[in-house]
Amino acid sequence: MYAFEFVKPKSLAEAVTALGRDEAQALGGGQTLIPTLKSRLASPAVLVSLSGIAEMQGICTGDDGALCIGGATTHAAVAAEAGAKYPALAALAGGIGDPAVRNRGTIGGSLANNDPSACYPAGALGSGATIVTNTRRIAADDFFEGMFTTALNPGEIITEVRFPVPERANYQKFLQPASRFALTGVFVAKYKGGVRVAVTGASENGVFRWSEAEAALAKSFTAEAVKGLSASAEGMIGDIHGSPEYRAHLVKVLTARAVTAAG
């Protein structure tokens, strides 16, 4: 590690001011940033912790019926408290990492980092969520711009994530056992106006929607509707854990499993 200043603001306004300083970096649960600092892949002069900001924590139901989750809410809290409103999202949160990760990591930190194998990006994109920041609202379809890249501006903070609650939904993850990240993960959500299918862990460009499956499932929300489809291996990740073709196969298999499990 190296020397840096640590700031723990008590309000969003204080956090915005602190992040306006030169070489300042926001710190959520630290599950990605701290290992990055240890490896000296990043060296901010100021770390601004968001964990002490009460207005960014908690889960509630919005006036429009959406599930609203504060950006500094931990995975463990979502797993424990969101089940009655959005069981599929609670199950997703409960399958992230291990207990230590779930009790420190936050939904805002995960979405802001946008790891190509993280679970929350699939949940947000698959739900058509809205990412609320200290300055604006961003639709999930416009938020994820590629591997580790989002629409967030420097110093912009995710304060809340708003999830429209679907009629049915499920998340299926084929995990990499050492990291517990998704080798491939698929989130399927059925709404009155259509179906959304979001895939994580598979593409070199990060989380994406499988539009062919969405169209097929909108006509027939059954695993049979997916059988005749094929996800393209072009642009899929190839590494020691699996080839692009293997990940493309997993996309189809996990989509069918998610539809079956959603009921």
CA distances from 32 to 112, 141, 203 (A): 11, 23, 20
**3-state DSSP: the chain helix, strand, coil percent, rounded to 5?**
35, 25, 40
Edge-to-edge order in the sheet of strand 24-27: 5-7, 46-49, 24-27
Q: What phi and psi values does residue 151 have, to the nearest 5 degrees?
A: -80, 0
Q: Domain limits at 242?
A: 168-262
Is 69 in the same domain as 134? yes
DSSP state of 10: S
Is 90 in the same domain as 219? no
First to last CA, the chain: 49
Place of tokens 């949160």: 93
Q: What is the mean pLDDT of each run of 10 residues along the chain (263 residues)?
A: 85 94 88 78 86 95 97 98 98 96 96 95 98 98 96 96 98 91 97 97 97 98 96 96 97 98 93
Domain containing 155 — which CATH number?
A: 3.30.465.10
Is 60 in the same domain as 179? no
Identify the burial level of 219 via C-beta atoms within 10 angstroms of its C-beta, where 0-12 means exposed, 13-18 middle and 19 or more buried: exposed
Which residue, 147, 163, 179, sits at the end of a domain?
163
Long-range contacts of 224-232 (CB under 8 A, 24+ apart): 225/259, 226/252, 226/255, 226/256, 226/259, 227/256, 231/199, 231/202
Domain containing 187 — which CATH number?
A: 3.30.390.50
Of the candidates 159, 36, 167, 179, the one whose C-alpha atom is nearest the C-alpha of residue 95 is: 179
User: How far apart are alpha carbons 23 and 17 in whole angstroms?
Assistant: 13
Torsion of CA 160, 136, 50, 41, to 10 degrees: 110
The predicted pLDDT at position 178 comes to 84
User: How far apart are alpha carbons 221 and 230 in whole angstroms?
Assistant: 17
Whole-model pTM: value is 0.95
The predicted pLDDT at position 1 comes to 60
Which residue, 111, 128, 163, sits at the end of a domain?
163
Is 180 in the same domain as 114? no
CA distances from 51 to 15, 73, 97, 108, 109 (A): 11, 8, 19, 11, 10
Which residue, 140, 163, 186, sits at the end of a domain?
163
The number of beta carbons lying within 10 Å of the beta carbon of residue 73 is: 22
Q: How would you classify the pairing of strands 168-175 and 158-163? A: unpaired
The predicted pLDDT at position 137 comes to 98
